[in-house]
């Protein structure tokens, strides 16, 4: 019911990625629109993920979704961190790896496992609907990303 695309936009002055999302959640707020990239990333020695980005649209609530150890599909849970995109002006959003928490289908999982940053196997972006969040998002949103890096 929802849709997301991730495109490269470039001109003579810059090159950026743009995450477009159209969110059509269920009546209770359940839903997401997202993309992900599967690969092997060893982030040993890094403490956080940073995005230099800006949001446009009515809602600016996004999350980064990481998976590890090749456990990229259900029934495995993901490690997620929510953030608000800066509105209209570019700014850095820092997401410490220590604050990524386990989730399954948008609901927090209570377990003792932490994200294994030496074996990150999937990186994703999502606009979330809000079934378990106080804000219920819907409609179009854009996250313009100048860069993403692990530091």
Residue 140: exposure state from Cβ atoms within 10 A (0-12, 13-18, ≥19): middle
Residue 85 has what pLDDT?
96
pLDDT per residue, tens digit, the chain (151 aa), is 899 999 999 999 989 999 999 999 888 888 889 999 999 999 999 999 999 999 998 889 999 999 999 999 888 999 999 999 999 899 999 999 999 999 998 889 988 789 999 999 999 999 988 888 888 889 999 999 999 999 9
What pTM does this model have?
Answer: 0.92
Residue 97 has what pLDDT?
97
Residue 131 has what pLDDT?
84
Q: State how far the Cα of 129 lies from the Cα of 124, in Å rounded to an integer.
A: 16
Taking every pair of Cα atoms in the chain, the longest distance, rounded to a whole number of angstroms, is 48
Go through the domains of the chain in sequence order and give each one's CATH number: 3-150 (2.60.120.430)
- Cβ-based neighbours of 12, under 8 Å, separated by 6 or more: none
State the sign of the Cα–Cα–Cα–Cα dihedral 60, 133, 28, 80. Answer: positive
What backbone torsions phi and psi does residue 45 show, to the nearest 5 degrees? 85, -10
CA atoms within 13 A on the CB side of 36: 21
């Amino acid at each position: 019911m929802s849709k997301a695309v991730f495109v490269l936009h470039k001109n003579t002055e810059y090159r950026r990625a743009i995450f477009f999302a159209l969110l059509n959640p269920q009546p209770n707020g359940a839903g997401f629109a997202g993309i992900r990239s599967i690969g092997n990333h060893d982030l040993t020695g890094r403490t956080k993920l940073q995005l230099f980005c800006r949001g446009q649209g009515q809602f600016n609530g996004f999350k980064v979704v990481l998976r590890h150890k090749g456990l990229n599909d259900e029934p495995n849970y993901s490690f997620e961190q929510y953030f608000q995109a800066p509105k209209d002006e570019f700014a850095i959003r820092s997401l410490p790896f220590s604050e990524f928490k386990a989730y399954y289908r948008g609901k927090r999982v209570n377990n003792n496992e932490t994200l294994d940053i030496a074996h990150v196997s999937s990186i994703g972006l999502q606009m979330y609907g809000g079934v378990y969040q106080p804000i219920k998002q819907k409609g179009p949103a854009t996250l313009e990303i100048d860069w993403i890096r692990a530091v």
